[in-house]
């Protein structure tokens, strides 16, 4: 997301570096009141913009990005409803559509395709927590010290396009976290973790 920073809303662009600096300067700091920032209208709008830019296939509900845009109330109604569920803490991620991509060695690569709604929620969380986790990354954390923002490990992968083309009829519904293979490296994606509320509550470090 580093290359996309200039396109983020001003409040979000200001917040992210502040979170990163705090995490870097105080490694043991427990962050709090992050959940409200996930729910900012600016965060939701930026998350939608990224999801739309990445494109991708529909999840288990069959709803595509184009259908969201053409639906009653359009994107604003879609984001408003999602934001209302988040604020009311009634949001729960849906099942993930599982597809299998054939590999050259005869095996298959499992991919998980969340719904558009869940992809927006996940991206909203990522926009807030990414600079915190990136503060812990070292140059040696990735092969050859490759400088890749955490979000780029997932957000820019064209997995939905590949899945839609390669296994149109080989999908099944699964509960829980989605998985993405980057080469032969198996990486979990924030989909479940018991739900978005639990993931953000962990980061908030609520008082016991």
Give residue-wise pLDDT tens across range 80-101.
Answer: 999 999 999 999 999 999 999 8
Asked if residue 179 belongs to a domain, the reply is no
Asked if residue 81 belongs to a domain, the reply is yes
CA distance to 19, 154, 198, 201, 203, per residue, from 29 (Å): 11, 26, 19, 15, 10
Check residue 197 and give its pLDDT. 46
| pLDDT tens digits along 171-206 | 344 444 444 333 333 333 333 333 444 444 444 443
Asked if residue 175 belongs to a domain, the reply is no
Q: Kindly indicate the confidence band of residue 154, based on its pLDDT and cuts at 50, 70 and 90.
A: very low
Asked if residue 182 belongs to a domain, the reply is no
Asked if residue 66 belongs to a domain, the reply is yes
- N- to C-terminal Cα separation, the chain: 34
Provide the β-strand partners of residue 131: none
Which domain, by its residues, includes 196? Answer: 2-94+115-147+190-204
Asked if residue 43 belongs to a domain, the reply is yes
Taking alpha carbons only, the member of 86, 148, 173 closest to residue 121 is: 86
Question: Mean pLDDT throughout 17-25?
Answer: 91
Using a cut of 0.85, tell me whether the model's pTM lies above it: no
Asked if residue 163 belongs to a domain, the reply is no
Looking at the structure of the chain, the number of domains it has is 1
Question: Mean pLDDT throughout 32-57?
Answer: 94
Check residue 7 and give its pLDDT. 85
Asked if residue 46 belongs to a domain, the reply is yes
Q: Does 15 score more than 50 pLDDT?
A: yes
């Amino acid at each position: 997301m580093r290359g996309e920073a200039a396109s983020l809303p001003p409040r979000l662009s200001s917040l992210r570096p502040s979170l990163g600096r705090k995490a870097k300067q105080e490694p043991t700091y427990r962050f709090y009141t992050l959940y409200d920032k996930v729910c900012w209208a600016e965060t939701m709008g930026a998350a939608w913009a990224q999801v739309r830019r990445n494109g991708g296939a529909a999840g288990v509900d069959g709803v595509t990005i184009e259908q969201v845009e053409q639906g009653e109330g359009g994107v604003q109604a879609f984001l408003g409803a999602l934001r209302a569920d988040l604020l009311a803490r009634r949001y729960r991620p849906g099942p993930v559509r599982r597809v299998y991509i054939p590999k050259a060695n005869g095996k298959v690569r499992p991919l998980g395709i969340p719904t558009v709604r869940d992809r927006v929620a996940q991206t909203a969380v990522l926009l807030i927590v990414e600079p915190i986790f990136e503060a812990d990354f070292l140059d040696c954390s990735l092969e050859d010290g490759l400088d890749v923002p955490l979000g780029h490990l997932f957000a820019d992968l064209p997995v939905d396009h590949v899945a839609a083309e390669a296994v149109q009829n080989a999908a099944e519904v699964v509960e829980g976290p989605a998985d993405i293979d980057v080469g032969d490296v198996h990486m979990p994606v924030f989909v479940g973790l018991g739900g978005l509320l639990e993931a953000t509550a962990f980061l908030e470090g609520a008082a016991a």
